[in-house]
Amino acid sequence: MILKRMYEDYDLSIERILIKEYKRLKLTMQEMSVLLALFSIYKKRKTFSIASISRRVELNQNEIGTAVESLMNKGFMTILLERKDDKQREVFELDPTFKKIEDLYHQDELDKLKLLHESSISETIKLFEQGLGRPLRSHELENIRRWYDDQNYEHQQIISAIEAAKDRISIKYVERLLTQVIPETIEIDKDVENALDEIFKKIK
């Protein structure tokens, strides 16, 4: 997980992210306070202790216990038994929180792409209807959506083909123009640097 790596190796402010995003993560104020306390403890050790949490939040032990149970039920943390020096102790893991934040931001990116996708289709439909001087028929609309859903062509290639068609514009003619152009391969950049840029944009 990139967030966990950035937190542990580069001191990423996960606390700022939680404060900003706790409502979207469906956390209550008490749950967020306890989670922030757990992250504060996490930097030093992973031993679970209600007393350690109580020194960092203005909640009584019952409230802390309730918040911890809720955080586990919501999938933000886990508590495990660990054996060390022939003794057992409770330790906590916060990996689920890192994953929930990453999933939230990943969904944000998917939503942006979906919006861009629909916007591109709308622009293409508008250009066709302007060129044809009539609303598009259902099979024509299906063809256009297929161009985008199958990702055979880039949006700009479609627009350029429509413009090149001029007074000969039709779905079939534009598609013929598109098949004469070899689409460029789009490589998805998954470098850590780009991922970091996205993360820091979120917490500014």
Do 6 and 88 belong together in one domain? yes
pLDDT attached to residue 184: 47
Tell me the DSSP string of 102-125. HHHHHHHHHHHHHHHHHHHHHHHH
| Residue bearing tokens 């937190």 | 7
What is the band of 62 on the pLDDT scale with cuts at 50, 70, 90? very high
Contact assessment for residue 34 and residue 59, using Cβ atoms and an 8 Å cutoff: yes
Q: Is residue 79 part of a domain?
A: yes
Each residue's pLDDT tens digit, 6-43 = 888 888 899 999 999 999 999 999 999 999 999 999 98
Q: How many other CB atoms are there within 10 angstroms of residue 102's CB atom?
A: 16
Do 89 and 145 belong together in one domain? no
- In DSSP terms, 78 is beta-bridged to 93
Single out the residue in 93, 113, 148 at which a domain terminates: 93
Each residue's pLDDT tens digit, 93-102 = 999 999 999 9
Contact assessment for residue 130 and residue 138, using Cβ atoms and an 8 Å cutoff: no
pLDDT attached to residue 97: 96
Q: Is residue 201 part of a domain?
A: no
Single out the residue in 93, 118, 137 at which a domain terminates: 93
- Strand 78-84 with 87-93, pairing: antiparallel
Whole-prediction pTM value?
A: 0.67
Q: Is residue 49 part of a domain?
A: yes
Each residue's pLDDT tens digit, 120-153 = 999 999 999 999 999 999 999 999 999 988 888 8
Q: Is residue 20 part of a domain?
A: yes
Q: Which of 185, 189, 126, 190 is nearest to 157 (CA)?
A: 185
Domain assignment of residue 83, given as a range: 2-93
The CATH number linked to 73 is 1.10.10.10
pLDDT attached to residue 180: 82
- Number of domains forming the structure of the chain: 2
